[in-house]
Amino acid sequence: MTAHVAQPAEPVCLTQPAEPICLTQPEGPVCLAQPGGPIRLARRMARVQPSAVRDLLRLGADPTVTSFGGGYPDAGLFPLAGLAEIYREAIAESGRETLQYSVPEGISRLREQVAARMAQDGMPTAPDEVLILQGGQQGLDLAGRMLIDPGDIVITENPTFLGALLAFDPNEPRYLGIDMDGEGMDMAALEAALVANPTARVLYTVPDFHNPAGVTMSLARRQRLMELANRHDLVVLEDAPYRALRYEGVAPPTLRSMDTEGRVIHFGSFSKILVPGMRLGWAVGAPALIERLGLLKLAADTQSSTINMVAASRFLDRFDIDAHIVTIRDAYRHKRDVMLAALRRHFPQDIGFTEPAGGMFTWLTFPEGFDAAAFMRDHALPEARVAYVPGATFFPVEQRSNHARLSFTTNSDADIERGIAALGVLLRARR
């Protein structure tokens, strides 16, 4: 298989009843219809559009629907008491500093703490190799701006994280999607794609507990990926927000730990191991790259929230975050087991699903020709009151309709069992 290269953007014209939007060819003006006449937008806005999936997911927000759609952590596991104490102290004891501006790269204590955690994970890191971000998502946005010119080829897994496509799209890349199997990205396909596309410069990967596919890249594939990156002069964006959420087995080393040439930027996040609402993540990489990313961050938002950085730092100093991560892992491991057991029990044999060793998602493969979005709209939602994310949206180039992503982290055991059983009944009835 299996490389897919996107053609340069097609003309786009789209009208929605609620918000009329008229996007014309990228070469011509991109305009937004308004009552007083069209407003002309930058050309890059041709790639920034509302998605049909968002509308479907909105339906899943109905409280009578069991949603396996969102990628949210379980809020029941948030360490509220500890955070309440820390935030109160941070204002009462040093509010004049914690509520003041600080520095774009992040407060130095938190950079040191992140550097120490990276070192524990096999990546010796100096504090000036750490940039504190507003969530890992900001890192993808900044890296996209730093690295991608219009028309540049960006290589991703096929499927890939939707948030990465959203972050990269305004820079007008062409995507090249490489299929995966149970060991992650197919390296023979990657090599063939690199030979065929020698100008490709950026590779984005989620090697640990992939979103949406749930698979982890094996050690051998990681080694091969780094050989190819060195040979073909790629910058590798290693996105690892789920890395600490491993439910069994031993973690393979990160790509960053194998990087001898300063070409990997590794992104991490507090969203899945502490709380997402503090919007804190980090990038680690060669100081020159991190410094440039920091300049883009300065332009984007000046800095991450001072009080949130202080709170995260105090949390790491005062509480045992690794013990907290063990609690999260135990809870999610159990939920994963409940979901996989329910899938085995209730789903027809011809529907495949991945068995993730960590993270938050399993990826369904329906028979060829099955349309997971239509099935959700016409059957799963109205008849079973169940939502998931139809998979087509995760494909950077040729969308495949016969997939879906299920998240197992937020529902109760009973809801997982009920929801999967109800889907199973509908899926069996479809023959």
Ligand X SMILES: Cc1ncc(COP(=O)(O)O)c(C=O)c1O
Binding site for ligand X (CB under 6 A): 71, 135-137, 161, 163, 206, 211, 239, 241, 269, 271, 276, 281
Report the C-alpha gap between 88 and 141 in whole angstroms. Answer: 32
Nearer to ligand X, 257 or 271 (CB): 271
Considering the complex, what minimum distance in angstroms separates the CB of residue 30 from ligand X?
A: 27
Minimum separation from the CB atom of position 360 to ligand X (A):
8
Q: How far is the CB of 386 from ligand X (least distance, A)?
A: 21
Which is nearer to ligand X, 78 or 385 (by Cβ)?
Answer: 78
The nearer residue to ligand X, 23 or 164, going by C-beta atoms, is 164
Closest alpha carbon to 421 in 384, 373, 390, 389: 384
CA 342 to chain centre: 26
Kindly state the smallest distance separating residue 86's Cβ from ligand X, in Å: 20
Distance of CA 316 to the CA centre of its chain: 24
Nearest CB to ligand X, comparing residues 167 and 387 = 167
Identify the DSSP state of 208: S
DSSP per-residue string spanning 296-321: HHHHHHSSS-HHHHHHHHHHHHHS-H
> Could you give the residue ranges of the DSSP H alpha helices within 99-215?
108-120, 135-147, 162-168, 187-196
**Closer residue to ligand X in complex, CB, 359/424:** 359
Q: Closest residue (Cβ) to ligand X?
A: 135
Distance of closest approach, residue 37 Cβ to ligand X, in angstroms? 37
Q: Which one, 136 or 424, has the nearer CB to ligand X?
A: 136
Q: Which is nearer to ligand X, 207 or 294 (CB)?
A: 207
Nearest Cα to Cα of residue 234 among 304, 270, 306, 185: 185
| Nearest-angstrom CA–CA distance, 259 and 246 | 23
Eight-state DSSP code of residue 8: S
Q: How far is the CB of 265 from ligand X (least distance, A)?
A: 13
Closest to ligand X by CB, 137 vs 216, is 137
Select 276 or 356, whichever has its Cβ closest to ligand X. 276
Q: How far is the CB of 198 from ligand X (least distance, A)?
A: 28
Task: Measure the CA–CA gap between 425 and 431, rounded to whole angstroms.
Answer: 11
**Least gap, CB of 242 to ligand X (angstroms):** 7
Cβ nearer to ligand X, comparing 161 with 370? 161
Cis amide prior to 212 (ω within 30 degrees): yes
CB of 379 to ligand X, least distance (A): 27
Q: Which is nearer to ligand X, 347 or 361 (CB)?
A: 361
**Long-range interactions of 340-345: CB distance < 8 A, separation 24+:** 342/416, 342/417, 342/420, 342/421, 343/420, 345/420, 345/421, 345/424
Tokens 């806005």 label which residue? 45
Q: What angle do CA 334, 380, 70 make, to 5 degrees?
A: 50
Token code pair at residue 386: 């169940």
List, in order, residues 6 or more apart from 136 with CB less than 8 Å away: 239, 241, 267, 268, 269, 271, 281, 282
Taking the complex as a whole, the smallest distance from the CB of residue 206 to ligand X amounts, in Å, to 5
* Alpha-carbon span 281 to 241, nearest angstrom: 9
Closest CA to 375 of 408, 348, 337, 411: 348
Q: Cα(341)–Cα(417) distance, rounded to whole angstroms?
A: 9
Distant-in-sequence contacts of 337-341, Cβ < 8 A, 24+ apart: 338/408, 338/413, 338/416, 338/417, 339/406, 339/408, 339/416, 339/420
Q: Minimal distance in Å, beta carbon 344 to ligand X? A: 25
